[in-house]
């Protein structure tokens, strides 16, 4: 018989959905901690890590809030399994969820009985060995990628990027200085999640992330009609 002395953390910004999830799992004997926002949930991890995390992707105003939470979980030595519940079902989103350590990525709405059965099976078979930290090589001096964590580091300091922005920045890291990263390449790197007319907004956010570390940062430049390139003027 499954030991139900497991703790499950749920993060869902819809109060009604959160209540339904909490009730369904509590009735199965699980200890449940419920949150509507990412940061309070992350603060609770510092007190005690759960045995399982169930999270939506969009959390309030954070379109990648669930992905950011999964990235945070990767900072702990102990591996915590994650189940994502989301209406976002693009190949890129599903890939990103699994790349960030998700055990499962399920569509909304989902049957609560199906979810509880999956939770029981997962907790019965899942292990807790930490995953290896693998870095993908950047050819830009000072820029380092931690691909499995969807994190980038500038001068050994972590950049504040969403998973989508990380994928876009990675194109510069792999292209190197002076090479042009085209609009098509940036769009394709996100499997079409980013539209052509919003690319500039994401580039501005990427620049801002660098400027939080280095206020004089000015290495990403527009190449009119083509895309962007990385170089020092």
pLDDT tens string 170-218? 999 999 998 999 999 998 887 667 888 899 999 999 999 999 999 999 9
Comparing 131 with 15, the larger pLDDT belongs to: 15
Query: Measuring CA to CA, how many Å separate 136 from each of 51, 90, 143, 161?
Result: 29, 24, 11, 17
Class in CATH terms, 7-127: alpha beta
Residue 2 to residue 5: CA distance in whole angstroms: 9
pLDDT of amino acid 84: 96
Q: Who contacts 118 (Cβ-Cβ below 8 Å, separation ≥6)?
A: 83, 104, 106
- Does the domain at 143-230 match CATH 3.30.1330.60? Answer given as no
pLDDT of amino acid 136: 56
* For range 76-94, the mean pLDDT: 91
Residue 161 to residue 166: CA distance in whole angstroms: 6
Comparing 12 with 192, the larger pLDDT belongs to: 12
pLDDT tens string 145-163? 987 678 899 999 999 998 8
Residue ranges of domains in the chain: 7-127, 143-230
pLDDT tens string 98-124? 989 898 999 998 888 889 888 988 887
pLDDT of amino acid 2: 55
């Amino acid at each position: 018989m499954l030991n139900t002395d497991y703790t499950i953390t749920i993060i869902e910004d819809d109060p009604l959905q959160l209540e339904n999830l909490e009730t369904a799992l509590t009735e199965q004997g699980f200890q449940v901690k419920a949150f509507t926002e990412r940061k309070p949930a992350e603060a609770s991890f510092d007190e005690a890590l759960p045995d399982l995390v169930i999270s939506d992707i969009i959390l309030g105003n954070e379109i990648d809030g669930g992905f950011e939470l999964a990235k945070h979980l990767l900072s702990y030595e102990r591996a915590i399994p994650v189940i994502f519940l989301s209406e976002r079902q693009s190949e890129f989103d599903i890939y990103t969820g699994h790349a960030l350590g998700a055990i499962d990525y399920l569509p909304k709405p989902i049957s609560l009985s199906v979810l509880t059965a999956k939770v029981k099976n997962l907790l019965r078979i899942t292990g807790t060995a930490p995953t290896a930290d693998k870095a993908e090589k950047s050819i830009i001096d000072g820029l380092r990628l931690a691909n499995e964590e969807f994190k980038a580091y500038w001068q050994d300091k972590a950049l504040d990027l969403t998973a989508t922005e990380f994928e876009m920045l990675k194109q510069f890291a792999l292209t190197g200085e002076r090479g042009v990263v085209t609009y098509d390449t940036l769009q394709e790197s996100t499997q079409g999640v980013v539209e052509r007319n919003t690319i500039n907004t994401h580039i501005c956010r990427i620049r801002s992330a660098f400027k939080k570390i280095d206020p004089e940062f000015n290495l990403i430049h527009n190449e009119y009609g083509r895309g962007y390139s990385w170089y020092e003027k």
